[in-house]
Amino acid sequence: MGVDHKRHFSAEEKTKAVLRLLRGEDIHALAEELKVHPERLSRWERRFLAAGQKAFDKPKQPRISAAVWQWAALVVVLLITVAVLSRFVSPNPAP
């Protein structure tokens, strides 16, 4: 089998090859056709199936950094300060 180790396959080409494997095509025949080692096709298949499983995983909540929490706390303190100080300021300034 003439194996070309330098050939780059696009994501679309890899997906098509993996789908052919999943439909039951012989891995050795497909490897020969694509001029790659069967192990390379097996790796693509494993990666494809692992990525497909992620579609069913629960989405992870984004982590909020400590800096964001510090800014949020500062905003809360400022809002409380404004509310307290606004009680001491006359709504109608003297003429």
The answer to whether residue 86 is domain-embedded is no
Average pLDDT in the 6-19 region?
91
Which residues lie below 8 Å from residue 71, measured CB to CB, with a gap of 6+?
A: none
The answer to whether residue 76 is domain-embedded is no
Structural domain span for residue 15? 11-54
Average pLDDT in the 8-18 region?
94
Average pLDDT in the 7-21 region?
93
The pLDDT value given to residue 95: 60
In the chain, where does DSSP find H-type helix? 11-22, 27-34, 38-54, 66-86
The answer to whether residue 75 is domain-embedded is no
**pLDDT per residue as tens digits for the range 19-64:** 999 999 999 999 999 999 999 999 999 999 998 878 777 777 788 8
Quote the pTM value. 0.56
Overall domain count for the chain = 1
Check whether 10 has a pLDDT greater than 80: yes
